[in-house]
Amino acid sequence: MARNLYILAGVLLLFAALSFVMAMTSGRFQPALPANGTLWKTTALFLTLGGLIVGFLGIMTALFEQVDRRSEERRIRQRGGRPRSSESGAGPGSGSSLRGR
Handedness of CA 50, 54, 59, 61 (dihedral sign): positive
Quote the DSSP letter at residue 76.
H
Are 20 and 44 in contact by the 8 Å Cβ rule? The answer is yes
Provide the whole-model pTM. Answer: 0.65
User: pLDDT digits over 13-29, tens only?
Assistant: 999 999 898 888 766 66
How much is the pLDDT for 93? 54
In a domain, 56, yes or no: yes
Overall number of domains in the chain: 1
Residue 89 lies in a domain: no
Q: How confident is the model over 37-68, as pLDDT tens digits?
A: 778 889 999 999 999 999 999 999 999 999 99
Model confidence at 101, in pLDDT bands (50, 70, 90)?
very low
User: What residue ranges in 32-83 does DSSP mark as E strands?
Assistant: none
Question: pLDDT digits over 63-90, tens only?
Answer: 999 999 999 999 999 988 665 665 555 5
Would you say residue 13 lies in a domain? Answer: yes
Domain that holds residue 49: 2-76
Q: Is residue 96 part of a domain?
A: no
Residue 28 within a domain: yes
